[in-house]
Amino acid sequence: MALETNLAGRTAVVTGASEGIGRAIAERLAAEGVDLHISARTAARLDGLKAEIEAAHSVSVTCHPRDLSTSEGQAALADACPDADILINSAGAIPKGRIDEILEPQWRAVWDLKVFSTINLCRHYYAAMKARGGGVIVNIIGNGGEKPVADYICGSTANAALMAFTRALGGGGPKDGVRVVGLNPGPVATEKLVGMMRKAAHDAWGDEERYSEYFAPFAYGRAATVEEIADMAVFLASDLSSYTTGTIVTVDGGMVNKGPLF
């Protein structure tokens, strides 16, 4: 018998949906029949994704161009779609750098978007889901929190905090009928990562097509695809994972158990 996610007809909020992992998750949820509220800063990219999804799937897509690094933006998103069954927190990325390379304004800026948007949206949606007696929150975090390193100090610290937050919130979820889980990707072949590697290959060898050589040290000689991360996110949000809460699932090809992250 085929496994069914039973997601059709539900509604999901996906942040960071204009590109990368967030976009892939939105597309995968739409394929399961989930109506979407997608949010990111860039309205044009959200509009393009909406058009693509609605052309391919019989679901509704509502765009919410918001700056989720602000409390006002977070509250506005929650107020616009309070009845979501699923919340996917996928906004924000944190650059590499040592303690002397990332100054206080950058710490605050990336934490406002990555850490505080996740916490505040969880606060809004957990309360609404508890009142309705059900819901799922999936926080896309990152494996840097599992093995903190000096070269990624801002991200390591942020991800470790979000892992603790997710475990604490999700651990109390069963009494409220709400599940909260975290997903820790390792390296993922997003447009941004591939673009960075192309530039590095051009600078190093004068040939950007050699970018894939940077993937050689990764598990299986490659980075994960966005689809692989999206599949896990959708599984965690679905009834197939109905007994999963207060935990973190790592999808990094065993990277954190092998050696240094970088």
Q: Return per-residue pLDDT of the chain as tens, 262 residues.
A: 567 899 999 999 999 999 999 999 999 999 999 999 999 999 999 999 999 999 999 999 999 999 999 999 999 999 999 999 999 999 998 989 999 999 999 999 999 999 999 999 999 999 999 999 999 999 999 999 998 999 999 999 999 999 999 999 999 999 999 999 999 999 898 888 788 778 888 888 888 888 888 888 888 999 899 999 999 999 999 999 999 999 999 999 998 887 654 5
Half-sphere exposure in the Cβ direction for 155 (13 Å, CA)? 24
pLDDT of residue 216: 84
Q: What angle do CA 66, 70, 51 make, to 5 degrees?
A: 15
Provide the residue ranges of all domains of the chain, joining segments of one domain with +: 11-188+225-249, 191-223
Q: At 184, phi and psi to the nearest 5?
A: -105, 95
pLDDT of residue 124: 98
Task: Judge whether 176 and 242 are in contact, CB under 8 Å.
Answer: no
Distance of alpha carbon 105 from alpha carbon 208, whole angstroms: 32
Q: At 238, phi and psi to the nearest 5?
A: -95, 170
pLDDT of residue 202: 83
Cβ burial 198-222 (10 Å sphere, 16+ → b, else e): beebeeeeeebeebeebbeebeeee
pLDDT of residue 103: 94
pLDDT of residue 238: 98
Q: Which of 87, 13, 49, 28 shows the shortest CA–CA distance to 231?
A: 28
Predicted structure pTM score: 0.94
Total Cβ atoms within 10 A of residue 72? 10
Q: Which fold has domain 11-188+225-249?
A: Rossmann fold (3.40.50)
